[in-house]
Amino acid sequence: MQKILSPRNRPKAVPASYIVLMRDNQVMLLKRFNTGYEDGKYSLIAGHVDEGETFTQCIIREAKEESGILLKPEDLQAVHIMHRDSGTRENNNRVDIFFITHKWQGKPENKEPHKCDDLSWFDINNLPDNIIPYIRHALDNIKNKIYYSEHGWHEMENLKKKLDEGGGPTVEAAKKDK
C-alpha cells in the first residue's frame, strides 16, 4: 500500500546547477579537495541553488566563484535533468540541472583552492577514472542526448534491504563499490 503524503511530510529536494564547459571535444572538470564529499574525485563546476535564485542564476554565480569566468544566460542550454538519491542520511533527494556552453568570458582558473586542487580539460570520450559516478552518468547521458535520468535510487534500495536483513556492507563500503 502506498503511503499518502501530506504537505508537511513530502520530501524536500535539494536543487543544484552544473555547467558543462566545452572546448572542442573537451570538458572542464575540477577535482574536489577538503570538502568532506567525494574528495579526490572530479566533478563539474556546480553548486546548490540559493533561496530565491533560479537554476540559471545559480550556475552563473557558481562559475564566477569557482573558476572566475562570466556566463551569459543566452549562452546556456539546459541539456540534462537528474533526479538522484545522494546516499546521505539527510536531504538525499536531489534535483540537478546540467547546462552546457561553448561560450564564456575569461580564462577558467581555480578560484577556490581550499575546495579544489585541480581544474583541467579532459576529452569527453576519455574521462578520468576518479570522476564522481553520477557526474559520469550525466555526461554519458548528455553525449547521448538523453535529457532525463535517475541515479542512486536502486543502489540505495538494495543496500537498505541488505542492511534490514542484517547483512551486507556498511554504507561507506557500498559507496566505494559504486
The three-state secondary structure class of 174 is helix
Q: Is the pLDDT of residue 38 over 50?
A: yes
Residue 171 lies in a domain: no
Query: What's the structural domain count of the chain?
Result: 1
The span from the CA of 68 to the CA of 57, in Å, is 15
State residue 86's pLDDT score: 84
CATH of residue 143's domain is 3.90.79.10
Lowest mean pLDDT of 13-17, 45-49, 84-88, 98-102, name the range: 84-88
Query: Residue 118's domain spans which residues?
Result: 11-150
pLDDT in tens, 127-163: 999 999 999 999 999 999 999 999 998 765 555 555 6
Residue 107 lies in a domain: yes
Separation of CA 32 from chain center: 12
* Cβ 97 vs Cβ 62: under 8 Å: no
- Highest mean pLDDT of the ranges 2-16, 50-64, 141-155, 160-174: 50-64
